[in-house]
Structure 1
């Protein structure tokens, strides 16, 4: 439900104050509680379901297919569906493009971990379903992709690696599986309110935010893309460029803790 003008003014002043008082009492860097379930889709190589405390929910499925990597160069493909939105809507296309760019960055997912033989590799198809979302869902989606990739197991190769001259497809063990060794990226959303930055903005916080930052973390460092994002359609404003550096420093400080929490699931 949209806030009234008076409610927006009061909330904005609270968030923009030097003490940054959030409605739910969280500190600027704190996330809402989330529940994560992994490996629950039997037909997938990896899967996860993430539910936030505000009812936002995202489901991710990872499926692997054997491809000739001399023909197919892109070994990771992300498709996003948002309940209630068309596949060609701006939100769906923007999120799909952003997540594909994040996962295609050098070093994000090592292609050697997907390589089967000199000719063939696994290609990962990552299907994202945003069941419900009360605020911009990219962080929720990235947490779900991170958890699903960390729970992905692929068939164990038993045929020869040196098959460049052989026309047969790779042969796999009937039962044995190998865990996919990857270090998936995480995407953080920071809301800008006045001269303050807050992580994981709730719907009401997003409604009064001046602007937003998308900052990507992978391999213990900040990577591209780093960009702005409109968290609402009515209060978009410019911001002090120093806030970008402050946002990067905030992510550097707390991203490792988030990664460890997700890896311990």
Structure 2
């Protein structure tokens, strides 16, 4: 629903007040309710489906494949599809680039946990489908990837780890599976409205926001990438360093609670 000029001004004044007054009564750090379903795709090693209260919906599938890591360039491959958008659209390419950076080994996933032998590793193919999205889908996608990876099981290796001298593929137990423990990062999107920070902004809140901040949480701390992102159709405006500090502090204070809720889903 597109807001009129009067409605935008009223909402903007409400959100920039101290304390901010959100239309649904939420606190600045509070997320809307979400539904999470896992392990529902039988052909995948891990899967997750997240439905937000505004109707936004995202599905993630994780599949593992054995590759020769001495010849393979990457062990994490992310593919994003957004309903109604081309694969080469700016939003899809931007989201794919961001998530690849989030999940890269330096600050995200520890790919050494994918190592099978001295020559072979599992390669993870993470396929994301955004069925609908009323605002920026970055955080929704990130949470879906997090829950999918946390429910991913891969076959248990039974052959030798030291395989450099022999020409054989790894062999696995017929039935036994091991849970993949990667501790994946989560991306939070904060809307900047005046000098206030709002987590999980609704579509109307995004429409009047001055800017947006993408903040990555990994292994108990804020890590790169941290970047601005335009949430409203009018583009992004500048903000002070103090606003950035406030957003980082909000993520540091509340990210553990969000991850605990995701882990208990």
Superposition TM-score, scaled by structure 1 size: 0.98
Q: Distance between the aligned counterparts of 1:238 and 1:101, measured in 2? A: 24
**How far did residue 237 of structure 1 move?**
1.6
Structure 1 residue matching 2:232: 3-state secondary structure = coil
Q: Which residue of 1 aligns with 2:29?
A: 29
In the aligned structure 2, how far is the partner of 1:26 from the partner of 1:121?
A: 45
Cα distance 1:105–1:171, how it changes in 2: closer, same or farther (>3 A)?
closer
1:261 maps to: 261
Note the alpha carbon deviations across 1:29-72, whole angstroms, 9 max, x for none.
00010000000000000000000000000000000000111111
Q: Is the 8 A contact 2:58 2:130 kept in 1?
A: yes
When the two structures are superposed, what TM-score results if normalisation uses the length of structure 2?
0.98
Q: Distance in 2 between matches of 1:33 and 1:122?
A: 34
Q: Which residue number corresponds to residue 136 of structure 1?
A: 136
1:162-198: CA deviations, max 9, x gaps? 1112222111111110000110101000000011000
Partner of 1:157: 157
Whether the 8 Å contact between 2:105 and 2:111 is mirrored in structure 1 is no
1:1-265 to structure 2, matched below 5 A, reads 1-234=1-234, 236-265=236-265
Question: Residues 208 and 235 of structure 1 are in contact (CA less than 8 Å); yes or no, is this contact kept in structure 2?
Answer: no
Work out the CA distance in 2 between the residues paired with 1:166 and 1:119: 10
Would you say the 8 A contact 1:46–1:152 is kept in 2? yes
Contact 2:54/2:134 (<8 A) preserved: yes
**SS, match of residue 40 in structure 1:** coil
Q: Partners of 2:16 and 2:219 in 1: how far apart? A: 32
- Once residues 235 and 216 of structure 1 are traced to their aligned partners in structure 2, the CA distance between those partners, rounded to angstroms, is 22
* 3-state secondary structure, aligned to 1:131: strand
CA distance in 1, matches of 2:107, 2:67: 20
Unaligned runs of 5+ in 2: none
Do the aligned partners of 1:115 and 1:122 also contact (CA within 8 Å) in 2? yes
Q: Which runs of 4+ in 1 moved over 4 A?
A: none
Gap regions ≥5 residues in structure 1: none
Task: Note the C-alpha offset of 1:107.
Answer: 4.9
CA drift of 1:73 comes to 3.1
Deviation at 1:233, TM superposition (A): 2.1
Secondary structure at 1:87 match in 2: coil
Instruction: Work out the CA distance in 1 between the residues paired with 2:225 and 2:171.
Output: 38
Is the 1:209–1:235 contact (alpha carbons within 8 Å) kept by the matching residues of 2? no
Q: Is the 8 A contact 2:107 2:223 kept in 1?
A: no
**Contact 1:105–1:224 (Cα < 8 Å) also in 2:** no
Cα deviation digits, residues 79-131 of structure 1 (max 9, x gap): 11000000000000000000010000425222221000010000000000000
Structure 1 residue 246 displacement after superposition: 0.8
1:134-155: per-residue Cα shift (whole Å, max 9, x none)? 0000000010000000000000
